[in-house]
C-alpha cells in the first residue's frame, strides 16, 4: 500500500489542476493584498489552499514572497503541491486545519506574516469528485470529509446522532425549517436500514417535503450543507481561526476572507467588528493611542462579485468578501 492509500486518498495521478479550479475574486484579492505583500521577504498564508489557484497567482505576481499553504485535505495538498512545484522553496505546505495557523507558522519558524487569505467552504476538488459525497445531485457514499484521515463521516452522524442532535444541526447549520420532520424520518428509517449512500438520504428528504416547499429549490440542499459543516466542524474551526489569523499579522499586514454562506460571513463580521472599532470612551476629546482600533476595514460591509465574474465563474455568486489591515499591536 502506497502513502496516498494509507492516508485514505486516491493513488497518485497526474491532474491538470488549472482545469479543476477557477479562483474566485482573484483580481480583487490580489488588489487588496498587494500593498502588504509587495516587499521582498513577505510571507503570505493561504489558509485554505485547495487546488492552489490563488496561491499560484500570488506567487507569480509577487516574486519576493514566500507562501505557506494550509489544507486539511491530503489530496488537495498533493495536487496543489504538483501545481506549485515550479516555485521551489518559496512554497511551504502544511497538512492542518486552518484554526491551527499559529502552530503551523511556529513549526516553520515564522513569527508574523504580511498577508493571509481564507477562501472558505467546500473546494472545487471536493465538489467535483463525486466519490467525496458532498453533492446531493449525484449518488455517492455519505462521506463529506475534507480530511480523509478524520474518523467522522456523514454516515456516522446519520447512524449515531439522536433525533434532537440531528434536528439541532439541520436547524443551526442548514437553517432548515423542516429540521424536526427530517430528523424524525431519518431516525425512523435507520431502524431498518443504515444510510450509506447520498441517494438514500435524498429520496427520504424529498418524500418528507411538501410539494409547495420543493418548488422553492432542492429540498436536500440545506441538510447536506448542515451535515458537511458538522462533519468538518467548519463553524467552530472558523470561530477560532479568524482571531488566530489576525494575531499572526504584522503591522501593515492584510487579510482577505471569502465566505460562501451567511453563517460563515456572520462569524467573520462578528470577529472583525470589535477589533476594527475604537475603544475610546464616548465624549473623549482626543483618542489616545491605546484606544485606536487594531485593524482597519478595507471594504464597506461585505463585497460581492460583479455580474461579469458571476457569469464567468458561477461559484462566485454567493461569495461575500471582507478584508482588513493591521494598524497596531496590543503589546
Residue 103 has pLDDT above 80, yes or no: yes
> Options 3.30.300.210, 1.10.3720.10, 1.10.150.170, 1.10.630.10; which CATH number does 130-232 get?
1.10.150.170
**What are the residue ranges spanned by the domains of the chain?**
3-125+234-326, 130-232
Is 21 known as a binding-site position? no
Q: Nearest 5°: CA angle at 123, between 120 and 129? A: 160
pLDDT 10s digits, 121-151:
776 555 656 566 677 888 999 999 988 888 9
For residue 141, what is the DSSP state? B
Chain centroid, CA 260 distance in Å: 8
Position 9 scores a pLDDT of 34
Position 290 scores a pLDDT of 67
Give the mean model confidence (pLDDT) for residues 54-73: 96
Burial 180-200 (b: 16+ CB within 10 A, else e): ebbbebbbebeeeeebeebeb
Three cell numbers written together for 121 = 467552504
Task: Please tell me whether residue 269 adopts helix, strand or coil conformation.
Answer: helix
Position 18 scores a pLDDT of 45
Residues 6+ away with beta carbon under 8 Å from 142? 133, 153, 154, 155, 158, 195, 196, 197, 198, 201, 227
Cα–Cα distance, 254 to 180 (Å, whole number): 43
> Does the domain made of 3-125+234-326 have the CATH classification 1.10.3720.10?
no
Q: In this structure, are residues 328 and 294 in contact, taking their beta carbons and an 8 Å threshold?
A: yes
Q: How confident is the model at residue 14 (pLDDT cuts 50, 70, 90)?
A: very low
Is 103 known as a binding-site position? no
Cα–Cα distance, 130 to 297 (Å, whole number): 38
pLDDT 10s digits, 262-303:
999 999 999 999 999 876 676 666 666 666 889 999 999 999
In the sheet that 66-71 helps form, which strands lie side by side, from edge to edge?
91-95, 66-71, 43-46, 113-119, 249-259, 320-326, 295-297
Q: In this structure, are residues 44 and 69 in contact, taking their beta carbons and an 8 Å threshold?
A: no
Q: In this structure, are residues 266 and 121 in contact, taking their beta carbons and an 8 Å threshold?
A: no
> pTM of the predicted model, to two decimals?
0.86
Q: Give me the chain's average pLDDT, please.
A: 88
* Burial status of residue 316 (CB atoms within 10 A of its CB: 0-12, 13-18, 19 or more): buried
Residue owning grid cell 416547499? 213
pLDDT 10s digits, 177-235:
999 999 999 999 999 999 999 999 999 999 999 988 877 788 999 999 999 999 999 99
Cα–Cα distance, 261 to 221 (Å, whole number): 13
Three cell numbers written together for 154 = 456523514
Residue 12 has pLDDT above 50, yes or no: no
Cα–Cα distance, 303 to 204 (Å, whole number): 37
Is 71 known as a binding-site position? yes
Q: Which strand (E) or helix (H) includes residue 185?
A: helix 179-189
Q: Which strand (E) or helix (H) includes residue 253?
A: strand 249-259
Amino acid at each position: 500500500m502506497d502513502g496516498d492509500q494509507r492516508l485514505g486518498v486516491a493513488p497518485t495521478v497526474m491532474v491538470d489542476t488549472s482545469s479543476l479550479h477557477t479562483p474566485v475574486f482573484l483580481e480583487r484579492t490580489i488588489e487588496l493584498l498587494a500593498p502588504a505583500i509587495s516587499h521582498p521577504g513577505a510571507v503570505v498564508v493561504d489558509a485554505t489552499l485547495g487546488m492552489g489557484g490563488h496561491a499560484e497567482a500570488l506567487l507569480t505576481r509577487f516574486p519576493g514572497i514566500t507562501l505557506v499553504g494550509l489544507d486539511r485535505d491530503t489530496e488537495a495538498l498533493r495536487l496543489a503541491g504538483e501545481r506549485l512545484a515550479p516555485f521551489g522553496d518559496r512554497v511551504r505546505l502544511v497538512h492542518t486545519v486552518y484554526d491551527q495557523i499559529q502552530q503551523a507558522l511556529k513549526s516553520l519558524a515564522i513569527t508574523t506574516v504580511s498577508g493571509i487569505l481564507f477562501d472558505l467552504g467546500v473546494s472545487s476538488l471536493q465538489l467535483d469528485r463525486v466519490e467525496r459525497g458532498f453533492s446531493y445531485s449525484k449518488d455517492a457514499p455519505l462521506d463529506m470529509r475534507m480530511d480523509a484521515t478524520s474518523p467522522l463521516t456523514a454516515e456516522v452522524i446519520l447512524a449515531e446522532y439522536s433525533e434532537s442532535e440531528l434536528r439541532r444541526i439541520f436547524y443551526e447549520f442548514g437553517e432548515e425549517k423542516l429540521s424536526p420532520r427530517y430528523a424524525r424520518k431519518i431516525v425512523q428509517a435507520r431502524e431498518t436500514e443504515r444510510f450509506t449512500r447520498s441517494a438514500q438520504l435524498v429520496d427520504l428528504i424529498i418524500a418528507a417535503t411538501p410539494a409547495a416547499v420543493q418548488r422553492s429549490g432542492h429540498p436536500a440542499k440545506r441538510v447536506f450543507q448542515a451535515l458537511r459543516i458538522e462533519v468538518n466542524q467548519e463553524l467552530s474551526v472558523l470561530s477560532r481561526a479568524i482571531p488566530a489569523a489576525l494575531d499572526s499579522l504584522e503591522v501593515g499586514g492584510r487579510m482577505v476572507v471569502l465566505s460562501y454562506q451567511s453563517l460563515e460571513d456572520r462569524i467573520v463580521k462578528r470577529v472583525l467588528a470589535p477589533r476594527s472599532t475604537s475603544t475610546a470612551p464616548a465624549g473623549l476629546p482626543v483618542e489616545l493611542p491605546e484606544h485606536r482600533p487594531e485593524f482597519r476595514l478595507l471594504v464597506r460591509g461585505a463585497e460581492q462579485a460583479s455580474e461579469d465574474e458571476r457569469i464567468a465563474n458561477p461559484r462566485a455568486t454567493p461569495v461575500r468578501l471582507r478584508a482588513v489591515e493591521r494598524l497596531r499591536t496590543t503589546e
